[in-house]
Every structure is written in structure tokens, then in C-alpha cells.
Chains A and B, each alone.
Chain A
Amino acid sequence: MKWYILKRVLWTFVAMWIALTLTFGLISASPNPGQMRATMSCAAVGENPQECREQFRERNNLDQPVTERYKNYMVNMVTLNWGWSESRSQYVIPAILDAWRFTAQYAIPVLVISTLVGYGLGLYSAYKPYTVTDYTASFVGFFGISIPNFWFALVLIILLGTRVELVPTYYQSGIPIQQGWLSLANLRQLILPVTVLLTASLAWQMRYSRAQALEQMNAEFVKVAKAKGASQYRLMIWHVLRMAAVPLSTSFVGSLLAIFWSGSVIIEQIFAIPGLGLMTYTAIVEQDTPLVLATTLVTVFLAIFGNLLEDIAYVILDPRIDYGNR
């Protein structure tokens, strides 16, 4: 098992290296917006565009051979020298450090609530399948995964924001800084983003855990435990949940990433929350290459790290998996 974990950690580094290399390839292969801008602005003031292009390439070390650029890029990445963001007039690392709290303040509650409630409902549904409760839970689950989160957000803004004026329709980033992150005003403006994200992730966790628990309900070890007189509570928590949690950890990492990326870009764009999602969006729209690179890599590293944790959880949770030969 130790060997397996060690190998898994080594693979994490290999995967990070692959991700860095792929991103480098993608950036090198795609047209360089900065260069086009420089050439165009030169042409606009009547200078020779060719010359400006050369100057730009020289300034950004683009005239060096690919191997040299690759080496520099790797060194910069490893030493956390991730470059300067034009659109924010800020170094990339401090920009990320500024933004992540705005994302974490809603992502963490969503993750915790959806996991606890989602697993609870899923297990309960599996425990009493084909009852009214199960059907209701199943309908809620379908509702949650089908409703487009951007549309749901807009509908909630129309109903609760503009009609009743119960909650603010957009996020004011000054509030957490002036009044504190846990102030009532800040929590109030987080109600809508959290609700929107919660519907989708709760539904996923619930449907997934129900399916997994149903698979385990008829397993031999559950029958044995039942025959030995285990209480229903012990049966569900100790036997079914533990085994169902093995494949479930996949959905955990998956939903974390779903929230972080497609979810956060959309939600932050709608509610104007200055977090990582909005930063990604503006970086892409304003063609701020270092920032695009940084936000992509942060996601990828999070995903790789999540997968590592998930695989280690497998070994700990399921005693039947034998990793001796891997």
C-alpha cells in the first residue's frame, strides 16, 4: 500500500509536468494576441510593422529557440514566477491570491452542504426505494441537474431581486472588505449564488450516492451483517455508506471541479463576484495570456491533486482492493 501511494504521488508530478508541457504547446501554437496588438499599434502610427514585430518578439524572448523558451517557461513555473497580468496591472500570483477568497466563500459552503445533504438523501432514498419519498427525491434530483444554472440564476434575480427586492441582484465586493466576510450583508448577497450552485451539485451527489448505495444494498456482506443482527443505522452507515463511498469519492472531486469551473465562471459573471471564475473569464476575453495560463494551471493542479486524494481514499476505504501488483 505504501508503494502504491508513493507511485501515485510520483505520477502526480508526471501529470503536472504533462499539463505544463501541453499548456506550453497550446500557447506556442496559438496566435499571440500581444504580438498582433503591438504590430497593429505600430501600423496605426505609421511605423514599420515588421520592425515592431521583431522588437516585440525580442522583448518577450520569442526570438529564442523553442527548447530555450521551454526551459525558461518551466523554470518560471516551478519558481512561481508566473508573469505579469496586463489586464489587471498586477503580478499573476497576487491576483490569484486576491481572487480565491471570493470563490472559496461560496464554493466551500456549497461543497459541504451538498455533500452532507446529498449523501444523506441518497442513502435514505436507497434505503427505501420506490416509495413516495424516493420518487420525490428523484424528481428533485432530476430538477437540479437539468435546470441550466445561468437561467436559474436569472429567474431567481427576476423573482427575488427585482420583483420582491429580498436579496441584492449583484455582488458588491466592497462589503466583505469593509464589514468582514461573515457580516450579515455579505451573507445576504451570497444567498442567490449559493442557492443556484447548490441545486446542481446537491442533485448530482444525491443521484450518485443513491445509485451506489443501491448497488451495495444487496451485497453479500450486507446480508451477513443483517443476519448477524446489525441495527439499520449501523448497516447503512458502517457497511453500505463505507462501500458506497469508494466510488463516490469520484463524484466528490468531480463536483468540486464542476463548481469551480463551469459553475464559478457563470455564477461570478452573472453576480459580478470578483473571484477566480470571473478572473478566468476576463483573462480570456481580454487575451491576457499569463493570466489565462495561470487560471488554467490552477484548475489542472487542483484536479490532479484531487485525483491523488481520491485514489488514496480508495485504498483506505475498500479493504478488498489489492494494490500489491501495481
Chain B
Amino acid sequence: MATQRETDVTARTDRETFEEVDWDTQEVSTFNVSRTAVAELLAYGAIVVLFAYDYAVIRNEHPLIANWDVLSVEWLFVATLVAVFFHGVVPLYRNPRMREFYWSRFVKNRVAVAALVYLLVVFVIGIVGPAVMSPPETRFTNRIVPPVGITATVGGVVKTGTWQFPLGTTAEGKGVLKLIVYGMRVSMEVGLIGTVFTVLIGSVVGSLAALATALDIGWLDEVLMRYVDVQSVFPTFMLLLLLTYLFGSELWMIILLFGFFSWEGIARTVRGEALQRSSEAYVTAARASGASMLYIVQRHLIPNSANSIVIGATVAIPGFILGEASLAFLGFSDPTTFSWGRTISAGQSNLATAWWISTFPGIFLFFTVLSFYYVGEAMRDAMDPRQQIEGGGGL
């Protein structure tokens, strides 16, 4: 297509001078798709096709791939990983100068590097673990076994933990270690999927609002931002409690609710950033060349606000993980979802005798959230050119 148009243009310029061209007949398409974008779209297409196949043809009669029966939330997670790959990994790989610059600033914060390593480990175990381990099962013969090497009196019986359950078991006889491994996947799913939705909606709304101001469609900006005001005032946690109770509490629903009701912060930041950008010459130039609103948003406004979007996203991830754990702790989650919050709440009734049930998942939850905050802080320092980075950073 592109080459053909180029030859057309050359052929024409041979015949006509600039003044002779009838510009009304000229069509310049702003629809410009790169090879990565095609690959990305193909990946999403493949996911949708597989999902449709799984949903309509197999109908849960047998697992889709080998013995992996893909759950609704896992479809979303795969799509999220594709999005992260194409919008995070690929640009970083393509731009070694930017990558090395950010990395050299990032590594100055040693704690953040350790936090990043921890998060990668949790991520990998969360992906691989549930694939190779059978899910935790209710076994009343294994009720409340202490962690390995620890002796405790449970209900008048003295028990010592063994290697069969390294971190002990719950009152239902589920191994705490298994619950933690399964919880890793849940937490990563919640944090990443929720954030991708938040970033998507927030950046589109924010840049649309900014562009509307720049294009003198003030009412659109007003409507969008007033809605953002209303949403930011509405007590999200209450709303989530209410909605999960009314419409079900499956994990994918909780995640989508988080995503749909927490984008106002990113929308505000992006709007502020984009408002500065949209008065700049390159946006005027793009508009003069007939670029559509969507094109300007996608090509100019969002990439130029990327830094603040990334910073907003890194703060959103731990917030979602904590939020989901809190909901699960209060019992507003699907019993088949092995959330850390649920395990912590399962230990609440046996606090005096079986301290390990609540303690261990909580430690993992705490360090995961802490690590995300540390990584986010270090990323902000690395990306903010005004920031002078000194050794130690943060600790």
C-alpha cells in the first residue's frame, strides 16, 4: 500500500507543479500501522478467537490446553501481559539509549533493585507455581498443622510440623504454602490487569479532555472533568462492597470494577500534561495536516505524557492489590479464588492457637506492596529529569 502511494505521488509530481494540484482530490490517510502494532492486534485477535472457541465450542467439557482450563480472569491476564509486552518491553528494547539512561538512574536505589528482584520472583512463581502444583484441597485430616519444626498445642493435641506442610495448614487442612503460591498469581493478576484498564481509560479520557480544550470544545472537557470529580468523590470502597455483593464477586469482576472506578487520578494527571502539550507547535502542525482527534491523542498526547502515566500506574498496582486483599478479607470474594486476603481472614478465628495461618500470607502481601511502592519511587526518580539522584535513595 505505502509503496504504491509513494509511486503515485512521484508520478504525479512529474506532471504537475504544486499550484496545479487539486488538493480536494488528494487523500492522505492518517491511518498508519506499524509492524509491531499489527503483531499486537494479531495477538489480541488470537486471544479473542481462543476465548470464543473455549466458550462456544468446548463449553468447559475439557481443558483448553493440555490440562489448563483457562479461567475468565486468566484470559484478561494473558491480554494484559501482551499489552505490557508491546507497550513496555518492546519500546525499551528498541531504544537502548533510553533504557540505559533510566537503568543507570534506577540502580542507584539499591533497595528498589532488591524489590524489583523480589517482584520478579513472585511473578514467575505466581505464573509457574499453579501450573505445576495441584490446587489446595480441603482435608479435615490435616486440620491446623503447625509449620515445620514448630510444636503447638491445637485443641488439646500437641502437634509438630513436618516437611509435608512447610508453613502449616489452615483449619480446613489446606497447606499455607500452596495458598501463598496461588495467592501470588491472584495478586499479580489484580495489580496488573486493574492497572492496564486504569491506564487505558484514564489516559484516553485525560487527553481527550485536554484536546477538547485545545480545540475549543470546552463543554466536552467540562463534562468529562465534572464526571471525574463526581467519581473521585464517590467512596469507591463502599461502591465496590455494594457492587460485588449485588452482582457477584468473581475475581475478573472485582478487577474490572477496580479498573473502571479508579482512573480519575491518571485522567487528571494526563489532562494536565496534555494541556501543556496540546498548545505546542507539533500538535498545531498535526491538526493543520488534517490529523483526526484520535490520531493526535494516540500519537502525540499519550506518548508525551508517558512518564506521568507510568508513575501513576506504579502507585495504582499496590493500591489494587491491597484493595482486593481487603475485599477478600471481608469475605467479598469468590471462595474458589485463593486470595491472600482470604487466607488471612481464615486465620482470624484461630489467632490464639494457630498464628501461622494469618501471619505468613500477610508477610508476602506486605512485602509485595512495599516492593511495588519502592520500585515506583525509584522509577519516578529515574524518570524525573529535575531530580538529582544520590546514592541510597529512599533508605
Contacts and interface: CB of A to CB of B under 8 A. Distances in A.
Contacts of B85: none
Nearest to A281: B330
Which of A265, A266, A284 has the most chain B CB atoms closer than 10 A to its own CB?
Answer: A284
B255 interface: no
A148 B339 CA distance: 14
Given A281-B330, A284-B241, A15 B230 contact: yes
B101 interface: no
Interface residues of B, number: 43
11 contacts: A130-B390, A130-B392, A142-B373, A143-B370, A146-B369, A147-B366, A150-B326, A155-B358, A158-B359, A262-B323, A265-B237
Contacts of B344: 148, 150-151, 154
Nearest to B240: A262
Contact of B245 (A18, A169, A284): A284
A contact patch SS: helix
Contacts of B345: 150
Given A154-B348, A157-B351, 8 more contacts: A146-B370, A146-B373, A150-B345, A151-B365, A257-B235, A270-B348, A284-B242, A303-B235
A142 B374 contact: yes
Interface in B223-269: 229-230, 233-235, 237-239, 241-242, 245-247
A195 B393 CA distance: 28
A55 interface: no
A182 B325 CA distance: 34
A280 B230 CA distance: 21
B75 interface: no
B191 interface: no
A46 B395 CA distance: 70
B183 interface: no
A6 B150 CA distance: 66
B360 to A, nearest CB: 10
B79 interface: no
Contact of B234 (A262, A270, A303): A303
A148 B322 contact: yes
Contacts of B312: none
Interface stretch (A62-70, A110-118, A239-247, A291-299): A291-299
A138 B392 CA distance: 12
